[in-house]
Structure formats: C-alpha cells, structure tokens
Amino acid sequence: MEHPVKKYHAVVIGGVNMDIGGSPAGRLVMRDSNPGLVTLKPGGVGRNIAHDLRLLGLEVSLAAALGGDMYAAAIRESCAAAGLDMSMALVLPERRSSTYLYVTDGTGDMQIGIADMDITKCLTPAYFAPLMERINRADAVVLDANLEAETLVFIAENCTVPLYADPVSTAKAPRLLGALKRLRAIKPNAMEAMALTGEKDPERAALALLERGVERVFISLGRDGMLAAERGRLLRLPRAEAHVVNTTGAGDAATAAIVWAGVHGMSLERAAAAALRAGAITTECREANHPALSSLGERIEKD
C-alpha cells in the first residue's frame, strides 16, 4: 500500500506589488528616451517567493497588504491563478496598492528601481497577533524585509516553526537585525550582508550572522556564485550557467529554493546548489516566475 506524499505548507509574509518594468530595445542610454518594451505585471518579493514555492510543490499562504485599486484586483487574480491562499491578506479599500518601477539594461540586468510600498506599513504586530496560531501550523514561515522592523521582530518572537528571511535590499535589510537569532536561514547578497553586519568580506559577514544566531547563511555573490555557511562549515559554489533574459525574480527564486530544501531536510551544499539553479532557471524567462522551476529537483540531480 502506497503512503501519500506529505504536502508541506509555507506561509509567506511580505510585499506584493504591481511591477512596471522597462527594457530597452538595444543599449540603455541614460538621461534619454529609450525605445523598448514596458510591461505591467504583479510582483513583489513576498509574492514572487510564494509563487515559486507553489511551483516547487508546497501549499502556500500569502499574508500581504492590498489596496482598493485596479492593481489589487490584478494581483489577487494572479495569486489565485498561481494557487496561493490569500485568506490572511489585509485589504484596505481606501489605500493604493504597492507599485514597483524598474528599468533594465539591454542584457536584462536591473539598473534602477523605485518602490512605492507605504501600504505595507499597515501590516503591524496588532494585525498579526490573532493570526499567529494559524501561521504556526505551517512547516515554514518566510519573511521579507518590506515589513517594518517591529513587525518582523514580533513575528520572529512568536513563531514556533522554522523561519526564513529575505533582506530585499540594502536599505531594508537592517530591519531584520532584531529577528536574526530566530532565523533558520537568510539569503542576502554581499551588500545586504554588509548592511546587516558591517563586514565587507562575505566570509566574515557570514560568520557574523552565524554568531548572531542564524542557523544557515546563503550569500549571493552574483557572477561569483554563492557562499553558504552553517556552524562549523563554510563553502563556495560557482554560479549555475544560464542564458540570461531578465534577472528580476532570480533572488526570490533562490530564497524559495532554500525554503524548499529546508523543509525537505537537504544538506547545506544541496540547498545552496538548489538556490543557484533556481535563480539561473528564473533568469531564462521574461517573467519573475518561471514554470520550469517545478523541475528543480530533477535539474539539481543532473548538475
């Protein structure tokens, strides 16, 4: 008699927004009007991670803030299409939804972004207090640093299941400082790791994060791959090769892969390899979420 495969459940708490992206048809010329492509798509670190976790086979609930505008309707529709549970979302009809504007260069690499995410400040400890019992039924909880520091600390102190975090940006990374001691894993890039620790050297930054209580650290080094660390172990992995079309969402996919690896009990090295491959897969698509991510397990077996 076959036993049913366990379905893992993750709760992702963070930002959702409408992404407005611009890509030039050729070389990006600064301070000039560039012919190219402008897209309008639902995104946000929290939403992207949640969608990627769904592609990786987890059941996913997304707790985020939505306004009462047309963007909110489009975001809800996209989340429903991805199979995300939005029952913990905070809906504020009188507010505008988060919007993220970014421009890439001719290779698909982001050059600048502006985030209008004031509505996320409404995700307060008071909002989450009655939800913690539901949140703690999950197998993993993922935070992104779009939340205010006091909210991140409140959730961390009241969470009883493995907790993962994405720092989002150098400006927002320090919001996680009060939550570090509760984290199962964190995935900063080198600049975010420096913002959290004051250490320029990625290895020293990783060790500093471990000293502050994080169990596993995965520092994205861009073209130089990834540095992964846990107590007593530190390793570097080269980047996974890819035909890059667009880098938006690659970091979110890496975070999702780390969570996926965590709930499946994978080793540090395997988790880092999964993160690198997930990011590479996502760069080969113009969308922030690549359907091919569902084959991640098979892909890392071949690597």
Instruction: Answer yes or no: is 235 within a domain.
Output: yes
The whole model's pTM is what? Answer: 0.91
Separation of alpha carbons 85 and 9, rounded Å: 11
At residue 1 the predicted structure's pLDDT band, cuts being 50, 70 and 90, is: very low
Instruction: Answer yes or no: is 274 within a domain.
Output: yes
Separation of alpha carbons 165 and 177, rounded Å: 11
CB 180 within 8 A of CB 213: yes
Instruction: Answer yes or no: is 3 within a domain.
Output: no
Instruction: Answer yes or no: is 279 within a domain.
Output: yes
Identify the residue with better confidence: 184 or 287.
184
Instruction: Answer yes or no: is 4 within a domain.
Output: no
Instruction: Answer yes or no: is 2 within a domain.
Output: no
Instruction: Answer yes or no: is 251 within a domain.
Output: yes
At residue 264 the predicted structure's pLDDT band, cuts being 50, 70 and 90, is: very high
Q: Which domain holds residue 292?
A: 9-302
Separation of alpha carbons 2 and 34, rounded Å: 58
What's the pLDDT score for residue 3?
Answer: 54
Task: Evaluate if residue 4 carries a pLDDT over 70.
Answer: no
What's the pLDDT score for residue 301?
Answer: 75
DSSP letters spanning the chain = -PPPPP--EEEEES--EEEEEEEESSS--TTS---EEEEEEEE-HHHHHHHHHHHTT-EEEEE-EE-SSHHHHHHHHHHHHHT-B-TT-EE-TTSPPPEEEEEE-TTS-EEEEEEE-GGGGG--HHHHGGGHHHHTTSSEEEEETTS-HHHHHHHHHH--S-EEEE--STTTGGGGGGGGGG-SEE--BHHHHHHHHS-SSHHHHHHHHHHTT-SEEEEE-GGG-EEEEETTEEEEEPPPP---S--TTHHHHHHHHHHHHHHTT--HHHHHHHHHHHHHHHHTSSSSS-GGGGGHHHHHHH-
Instruction: Answer yes or no: is 184 within a domain.
Output: yes
Total structural domains within the chain:
1
What's the pLDDT score for residue 72?
Answer: 95
What's the pLDDT score for residue 243?
Answer: 76
What's the pLDDT score for residue 110?
Answer: 84
**What CATH number does the domain containing 253 carry?**
3.40.1190.20
What's the pLDDT score for residue 5?
Answer: 66
pLDDT digits (tens, 9 = 90+) for 115-158: 899 999 999 999 999 999 999 999 999 999 999 999 999 999 99
pLDDT digits (tens, 9 = 90+) for 78-98: 999 999 999 999 999 999 999
pLDDT digits (tens, 9 = 90+) for 202-245: 999 999 999 999 999 999 998 899 999 999 999 999 988 877 77
What's the pLDDT score for residue 107?
Answer: 83
What's the pLDDT score for residue 237?
Answer: 96
